[in-house]
Amino acid sequence: MNVRLEPVLREQEPVLQNLMQFYIHDFSEFWAGTSKGDLQADGRFEAYPLASYWTDPNRAAWFIWRGDILAGFALVNDHAHSGQAVDHSVAEFFVLRKHRGSGVAADAAHQVFAARSGLWEVAVARKNTAALRFWRRAVATTPGATEIREIDLATPEWDGPIILFRLGG
């Protein structure tokens, strides 16, 4: 399996916005009973705010490729849900359903982590139990990951577990 990350170029934002529609659709099941994830009149979800991913050096956007097939995306920033000073946070991470369970997501996650050293945070929405299982395994099997710990927050700002770990110096 040939999994690779490719930086998303500014002119590729429409492709990333298209993928974001699938991501938001998948995530919308966790927003039942709220106004989050409602469709607009044109049958699409609201566009995701991406502009800062091409202007802020603490942000990165990658496409995830499986061979020559686009399989997903990863967004990284330095926003900490934990309230702790972190170097990097997985903002959004998506692999198309047909590629899940095949190792694509774990391989891509390891590549994302390897791209930047420092203190990492992965915050997982409480209702997304499958993602929590995935991220626990992905972090635990990340080469060089140290100081792995998990905290649980239930605040108005964040509700769910947060995995913190360090890579490199």
pLDDT-derived band at 169 (thresholds 50, 70, 90) equals low
CA–chain centroid gap for 117, Å, is 17
pTM for this one?
0.95
Neighbours of 32 (CB within 10 A): 9
Distances (CA, A) of 65 to 2, 21, 110: 8, 18, 14
- Report residue 148 as tokens: 């792995």
Task: Determine the pLDDT at residue 33.
Answer: 78
How far is 94 from 115, CA to CA, in rounded Å? 17
Task: Determine the pLDDT at residue 168.
Answer: 87
List the Cα angle 75/139/93 in 5-degree steps. Answer: 20
Neighbours of 98 (CB within 10 A): 11
